[in-house]
Amino acid sequence: MFTSIAGRAVLVTGGTRGIGKGIASVFASNGARVLITGRDSDAARAAAEELPGEVSYVLADVADREDCRRMAAIAQERLGGIDVLCANAGIFPEGRLADLTEEDLDQVFGTNLKGTIFSVQACLPALERSARGRVILTSSITGPITGVPGWTHYGASKAGQLGFMRAAAIELAPSGITVNAVLPGNIITEDLADLGKARMRNMTAAIPLRRLGTVDEIGHAVLFLATEEAAYITGQTIVVDGGQVLPEFLGAVAGAEAAG
Protein backbone atom coordinates (compact mmCIF):
# COMPACT_ATOMS: atom_id res chain seq x y z
CA MET A 1 0.00 0.00 0.00
CA PHE A 2 1.35 3.41 -0.95
CA THR A 3 1.37 6.32 1.51
CA SER A 4 -1.66 8.55 0.89
CA ILE A 5 -1.24 11.76 -1.07
CA ALA A 6 -4.49 13.14 0.41
CA GLY A 7 -4.34 16.89 1.03
CA ARG A 8 -1.39 17.46 -1.32
CA ALA A 9 -1.60 20.68 -3.38
CA VAL A 10 -1.38 19.74 -7.07
CA LEU A 11 -1.24 21.99 -10.14
CA VAL A 12 -1.97 20.35 -13.51
CA THR A 13 -1.33 22.49 -16.59
CA GLY A 14 -3.57 21.52 -19.51
CA GLY A 15 -5.85 19.76 -17.03
CA THR A 16 -9.07 20.74 -18.74
CA ARG A 17 -9.08 17.95 -21.36
CA GLY A 18 -7.39 14.75 -22.39
CA ILE A 19 -4.44 13.39 -20.45
CA GLY A 20 -4.25 16.36 -18.07
CA LYS A 21 -7.87 15.88 -17.08
CA GLY A 22 -7.09 12.20 -16.42
CA ILE A 23 -4.12 13.16 -14.25
CA ALA A 24 -6.28 15.66 -12.33
CA SER A 25 -9.00 13.04 -11.89
CA VAL A 26 -6.62 10.45 -10.45
CA PHE A 27 -5.07 12.95 -7.99
CA ALA A 28 -8.47 14.33 -6.94
CA SER A 29 -9.89 10.81 -6.48
CA ASN A 30 -6.99 10.14 -4.12
CA GLY A 31 -7.79 13.15 -1.96
CA ALA A 32 -5.37 15.73 -3.40
CA ARG A 33 -6.46 19.36 -3.80
CA VAL A 34 -6.12 20.14 -7.49
CA LEU A 35 -5.89 23.29 -9.62
CA ILE A 36 -6.22 22.73 -13.37
CA THR A 37 -5.26 25.20 -16.11
CA GLY A 38 -6.06 25.77 -19.77
CA ARG A 39 -7.01 28.68 -22.04
CA ASP A 40 -10.63 27.83 -22.90
CA SER A 41 -12.98 28.96 -20.13
CA ASP A 42 -15.93 26.72 -21.08
CA ALA A 43 -13.76 23.58 -21.11
CA ALA A 44 -12.08 24.59 -17.83
CA ARG A 45 -15.37 25.26 -16.04
CA ALA A 46 -16.90 22.01 -17.35
CA ALA A 47 -13.87 19.95 -16.27
CA ALA A 48 -13.75 21.48 -12.78
CA GLU A 49 -17.46 20.72 -12.35
CA GLU A 50 -17.19 17.20 -13.71
CA LEU A 51 -14.04 16.04 -11.91
CA PRO A 52 -14.42 14.36 -8.52
CA GLY A 53 -13.17 15.86 -5.27
CA GLU A 54 -11.58 19.27 -4.76
CA VAL A 55 -10.79 20.71 -8.22
CA SER A 56 -10.79 24.35 -9.32
CA TYR A 57 -9.45 26.05 -12.44
CA VAL A 58 -7.52 29.09 -13.59
CA LEU A 59 -7.20 30.30 -17.18
CA ALA A 60 -3.54 30.63 -18.17
CA ASP A 61 -1.42 30.24 -21.31
CA VAL A 62 1.78 28.35 -20.47
CA ALA A 63 3.54 30.01 -23.42
CA ASP A 64 3.19 33.32 -21.55
CA ARG A 65 5.61 33.82 -18.69
CA GLU A 66 3.38 36.30 -16.86
CA ASP A 67 0.42 33.90 -17.10
CA CYS A 68 2.57 31.19 -15.52
CA ARG A 69 3.51 33.50 -12.66
CA ARG A 70 -0.16 34.37 -12.14
CA MET A 71 -1.14 30.68 -12.24
CA ALA A 72 1.47 29.85 -9.56
CA ALA A 73 0.33 32.81 -7.42
CA ILE A 74 -3.29 31.63 -7.60
CA ALA A 75 -2.23 28.09 -6.66
CA GLN A 76 -0.37 29.51 -3.67
CA GLU A 77 -3.40 31.57 -2.64
CA ARG A 78 -6.05 28.86 -3.20
CA LEU A 79 -4.15 25.73 -2.17
CA GLY A 80 -1.74 27.30 0.30
CA GLY A 81 1.26 26.14 -1.74
CA ILE A 82 2.30 23.73 -4.48
CA ASP A 83 3.54 20.23 -3.65
CA VAL A 84 3.20 18.73 -7.13
CA LEU A 85 3.44 20.40 -10.54
CA CYS A 86 2.24 18.30 -13.47
CA ALA A 87 3.58 20.20 -16.49
CA ASN A 88 1.31 18.58 -19.03
CA ALA A 89 -0.05 21.29 -21.38
CA GLY A 90 1.00 20.59 -24.94
CA ILE A 91 -0.01 20.88 -28.59
CA PHE A 92 0.70 18.63 -31.56
CA PRO A 93 -0.17 20.30 -34.88
CA GLU A 94 0.88 18.33 -37.96
CA GLY A 95 3.31 19.88 -40.48
CA ARG A 96 5.73 18.45 -43.04
CA LEU A 97 9.33 19.48 -42.44
CA ALA A 98 9.62 21.24 -45.81
CA ASP A 99 6.63 23.44 -45.00
CA LEU A 100 7.27 24.37 -41.37
CA THR A 101 7.38 28.14 -40.83
CA GLU A 102 9.16 29.99 -38.09
CA GLU A 103 5.71 30.67 -36.59
CA ASP A 104 4.96 26.92 -36.55
CA LEU A 105 8.18 26.29 -34.65
CA ASP A 106 7.58 29.16 -32.24
CA GLN A 107 4.09 27.88 -31.50
CA VAL A 108 5.15 24.30 -30.74
CA PHE A 109 8.37 25.14 -28.90
CA GLY A 110 6.67 28.07 -27.14
CA THR A 111 3.95 25.84 -25.66
CA ASN A 112 5.66 22.48 -25.24
CA LEU A 113 9.18 23.50 -24.31
CA LYS A 114 9.22 27.10 -23.12
CA GLY A 115 5.80 26.49 -21.54
CA THR A 116 7.26 23.60 -19.52
CA ILE A 117 10.20 25.71 -18.37
CA PHE A 118 8.04 28.78 -17.58
CA SER A 119 5.67 26.59 -15.53
CA VAL A 120 8.49 25.05 -13.49
CA GLN A 121 10.21 28.41 -12.97
CA ALA A 122 6.98 30.04 -11.79
CA CYS A 123 6.25 27.22 -9.31
CA LEU A 124 9.81 26.93 -7.97
CA PRO A 125 9.46 29.10 -4.85
CA ALA A 126 6.34 27.17 -3.77
CA LEU A 127 7.90 23.79 -4.61
CA GLU A 128 10.97 24.74 -2.58
CA ARG A 129 8.78 25.58 0.42
CA SER A 130 7.04 22.20 0.15
CA ALA A 131 8.85 19.48 2.05
CA ARG A 132 8.24 17.12 -0.89
CA GLY A 133 8.22 19.10 -4.11
CA ARG A 134 7.58 17.05 -7.23
CA VAL A 135 7.64 18.03 -10.89
CA ILE A 136 6.22 15.54 -13.38
CA LEU A 137 6.39 16.36 -17.07
CA THR A 138 4.18 14.85 -19.76
CA SER A 139 6.60 14.13 -22.60
CA SER A 140 5.88 11.44 -25.22
CA ILE A 141 7.37 8.37 -26.86
CA THR A 142 7.36 10.57 -30.01
CA GLY A 143 10.70 12.35 -30.09
CA PRO A 144 12.56 10.74 -27.17
CA ILE A 145 12.15 7.19 -28.59
CA THR A 146 10.17 7.14 -31.84
CA GLY A 147 9.62 9.42 -34.83
CA VAL A 148 6.49 10.21 -36.81
CA PRO A 149 6.63 11.96 -40.20
CA GLY A 150 4.77 15.26 -39.95
CA TRP A 151 5.73 15.80 -36.33
CA THR A 152 9.43 16.74 -36.46
CA HIS A 153 8.88 19.93 -34.47
CA TYR A 154 6.68 18.14 -31.95
CA GLY A 155 9.21 15.31 -31.52
CA ALA A 156 12.00 17.85 -31.00
CA SER A 157 9.95 19.64 -28.34
CA LYS A 158 9.16 16.40 -26.49
CA ALA A 159 12.81 15.25 -26.58
CA GLY A 160 13.80 18.75 -25.45
CA GLN A 161 11.64 18.39 -22.36
CA LEU A 162 13.83 15.46 -21.29
CA GLY A 163 17.05 17.44 -21.72
CA PHE A 164 15.50 20.10 -19.50
CA MET A 165 14.36 17.45 -17.00
CA ARG A 166 17.83 15.94 -16.51
CA ALA A 167 19.57 19.23 -15.77
CA ALA A 168 16.67 20.51 -13.64
CA ALA A 169 16.69 17.28 -11.59
CA ILE A 170 20.29 17.95 -10.60
CA GLU A 171 19.76 21.67 -9.97
CA LEU A 172 16.67 21.13 -7.83
CA ALA A 173 17.91 18.09 -5.88
CA PRO A 174 19.37 20.24 -3.05
CA SER A 175 15.85 21.64 -2.52
CA GLY A 176 14.47 18.09 -2.25
CA ILE A 177 12.48 18.53 -5.47
CA THR A 178 12.36 15.58 -7.86
CA VAL A 179 11.81 16.05 -11.61
CA ASN A 180 10.59 13.13 -13.70
CA ALA A 181 8.57 12.50 -16.86
CA VAL A 182 5.95 10.13 -18.19
CA LEU A 183 6.13 9.18 -21.88
CA PRO A 184 2.67 8.23 -23.13
CA GLY A 185 2.12 6.18 -26.25
CA ASN A 186 -1.22 6.51 -28.07
CA ILE A 187 -3.80 7.53 -25.49
CA ILE A 188 -7.54 7.86 -26.04
CA THR A 189 -8.58 11.48 -25.59
CA GLU A 190 -11.54 13.48 -26.84
CA ASP A 191 -9.53 14.39 -30.00
CA LEU A 192 -8.17 10.92 -30.70
CA ALA A 193 -11.63 9.39 -30.50
CA ASP A 194 -12.54 11.58 -33.53
CA LEU A 195 -9.88 10.03 -35.79
CA GLY A 196 -12.19 7.32 -37.06
CA LYS A 197 -12.26 3.54 -36.75
CA ALA A 198 -9.75 2.72 -39.54
CA ARG A 199 -7.02 4.99 -38.12
CA MET A 200 -7.68 3.68 -34.60
CA ARG A 201 -7.35 0.09 -35.90
CA ASN A 202 -3.98 0.93 -37.53
CA MET A 203 -2.70 2.47 -34.33
CA THR A 204 -3.86 -0.45 -32.24
CA ALA A 205 -2.19 -2.95 -34.58
CA ALA A 206 1.26 -1.54 -33.64
CA ILE A 207 0.70 -2.03 -29.91
CA PRO A 208 1.57 -5.42 -28.34
CA LEU A 209 -1.17 -5.01 -25.71
CA ARG A 210 -3.58 -4.47 -28.62
CA ARG A 211 -5.36 -1.40 -27.30
CA LEU A 212 -4.82 2.32 -26.86
CA GLY A 213 -4.11 3.64 -23.38
CA THR A 214 -6.49 5.57 -21.17
CA VAL A 215 -5.91 8.96 -19.59
CA ASP A 216 -6.29 7.36 -16.16
CA GLU A 217 -3.40 5.00 -16.95
CA ILE A 218 -1.16 8.03 -17.48
CA GLY A 219 -2.61 9.57 -14.31
CA HIS A 220 -1.65 6.52 -12.26
CA ALA A 221 1.98 6.64 -13.47
CA VAL A 222 2.11 10.35 -12.61
CA LEU A 223 0.54 9.68 -9.22
CA PHE A 224 3.22 7.06 -8.48
CA LEU A 225 5.95 9.61 -9.15
CA ALA A 226 4.29 11.92 -6.59
CA THR A 227 4.14 9.32 -3.80
CA GLU A 228 6.51 9.09 -0.82
CA GLU A 229 7.59 5.75 -2.23
CA ALA A 230 9.00 7.46 -5.36
CA ALA A 231 11.01 10.02 -3.35
CA TYR A 232 14.38 8.59 -4.47
CA ILE A 233 13.55 8.66 -8.20
CA THR A 234 14.63 11.78 -10.07
CA GLY A 235 15.57 12.64 -13.64
CA GLN A 236 13.86 9.47 -14.92
CA THR A 237 11.15 8.51 -17.38
CA ILE A 238 8.28 6.03 -17.31
CA VAL A 239 7.01 4.84 -20.69
CA VAL A 240 3.26 4.09 -20.63
CA ASP A 241 2.52 2.73 -24.11
CA GLY A 242 1.26 -0.87 -24.01
CA GLY A 243 4.65 -1.98 -25.36
CA GLN A 244 4.40 0.15 -28.51
CA VAL A 245 8.13 1.00 -28.65
CA LEU A 246 9.21 -2.66 -28.32
CA PRO A 247 8.69 -4.38 -31.74
CA GLU A 248 12.05 -4.71 -33.48
CA PHE A 249 10.74 -5.21 -37.02
CA LEU A 250 7.57 -4.69 -39.03
CA GLY A 251 5.22 -7.54 -38.27
CA ALA A 252 6.83 -8.37 -34.92
CA VAL A 253 3.56 -7.79 -33.10
CA ALA A 254 1.58 -10.00 -35.50
CA GLY A 255 4.45 -12.57 -35.41
CA ALA A 256 4.30 -12.73 -31.64
CA GLU A 257 0.57 -13.30 -31.88
CA ALA A 258 1.05 -16.16 -34.37
CA ALA A 259 3.76 -17.75 -32.21
CA GLY A 260 1.52 -17.46 -29.14
Residues recognised as catalytic: 154
- Rounded Cα–Cα distance for residues 211 and 118 (Å): 34
Q: By CB under 6 A, which span of 34-42, 122-130, 221-229, 245-253 interacts with ligand NAP?
A: 34-42
CA-wise closest residue to 157 among 210, 231, 90: 90
**Site for ligand NAP contains 94 (CB under 6 A):** no
Is 38 among the residues that bind ligand NAP (CB under 6 A)?
Answer: yes
**How big is the site for ligand NAP, counted in residues (CB under 6 A)?**
31
Question: Please, what is the minimum distance in Å from the beta carbon of residue 258 to ligand NAP?
Answer: 28
Rounded Cα gap, residues 81 and 87, in angstroms:
16
Residue 155 touches ligand NAP, criterion: CB under 6 A: no
Part in contact with ligand NAP (CB under 6 A); list of ranges 48-56, 162-170, 187-195, 220-228: 187-195
**Using the rule CB under 6 A, is 14 a contact of ligand NAP?**
yes
Distance of CA 259 to the CA centre of its chain: 36
Strands (E), the chain: 9-12, 33-38, 54-59, 84-87, 134-138, 178-184, 237-240
Interface characters, 166-185, with ligand NAP (x: CB under 6 A):
------------------x-
- Please tell me the distance from the alpha carbon of residue 90 to that of residue 98, in angstroms, as a whole number: 23
**DSSP 3-state of 234:** coil
Does residue 207 bind ligand NAP (CB under 6 A)? no
Classify 37 as helix, strand or coil: strand
Q: How far is C-alpha 231 from the chain's CA centre?
A: 19
144 binds ligand NAP (CB under 6 A): no
Please state, in angstroms and rounded to a whole number, the distance separating the CA atoms of residues 113 and 118. Answer: 9
187 binds ligand NAP (CB under 6 A): yes
Q: Which SS3 state, helix, strand or coil, does residue 10 take?
A: strand
User: Is 133 near ligand NAP (CB under 6 A)?
Assistant: no
Is the Cβ of residue 27 or residue 92 nearer to ligand NAP in the bound state? 92
Find the part of the chain contacting ligand NAP (CB under 6 A) among 1-9, 59-67, 78-86, 193-201.
59-67
Residues 188 and 215 sit within 8 Å (Cβ to Cβ): yes
List contacts with ligand NAP (CB under 6 A). Answer: 13-14, 16-20, 37-40, 43, 61-63, 88-92, 111, 115, 138, 140, 184, 186-187, 189-192
